[in-house]
Amino acid sequence: MPQHNSVAITDVQAAQKRILGIAHRTPVLTSRIVNDRTNSQVFFKCENFQRTGAFKFRGAYNALTQLSVAQKQTGVLTYSSGNHAQAIALAGQLLNIPTTIVMPDDAPAVKQSATRSYGAEIILYNRQETNREELAQDLASDRNLTLIPPYDHPHVVAGQGTTALELIQEVGKLDLLLVCCGGGGLLSGCA
């Protein structure tokens, strides 16, 4: 799949239908202290209560549901030090899709263990010596696996965007949306 495709609200809405009943509809909480200090009403979308503990499951599951039958049979590969790794591994387990994860050898043991517990094969690498994207592309090509990057993929972005869609559906129009940003998938989906 070509990357850098734009993601429209209709893509996020379609993703919401795909993950319905699979991904958790996470709670929205408020804090009197934060509201008092900011002189506003602040809502927190608690994605720490999502499956695998992060919003990443939304994008991973949405992406895997859209694979062809042949791609589902051969499996997928991603690179991640933890949250996306676990999300792809769990989505693969639920959809009966083999998963391979390229993970740095210094990734927390708890994240490695959780990823393995969902049935993923983990390939460790030294991040000082190896470029993870190049390693992942080479392995995906050699093994005929579909590469699902952690953020730079339209189906991942659309799935992650369901976080903001849910928030707006629950609390209404927002004056401002603050989104954490690592790779940019969540931010892009919420835009």
Alpha carbon distance 23, 11 (integer Å): 17
The residue type of 159 is G
Could you list the active site residues? 56, 81
Q: Which CATH class is domain 9-190?
A: alpha beta
Give the number of other CB atoms < 10 A from CB of residue 44: 15
Q: What is the structure's pLDDT at 2?
A: 43
**pLDDT tens string for the chain (191 positions)?**
345 578 999 999 999 999 999 999 999 999 999 999 999 999 999 999 999 999 899 999 999 999 999 999 999 999 999 899 999 999 999 999 999 999 999 999 999 999 999 999 999 999 999 999 999 999 999 999 999 999 889 999 999 999 999 999 999 998 877 777 777 666 566 67
DSSP state of 50: S
- What type of residue is 182? G
**DSSP SS3 for 124:** strand
Helices and strands, counts by H and E, the chain:
9, 6
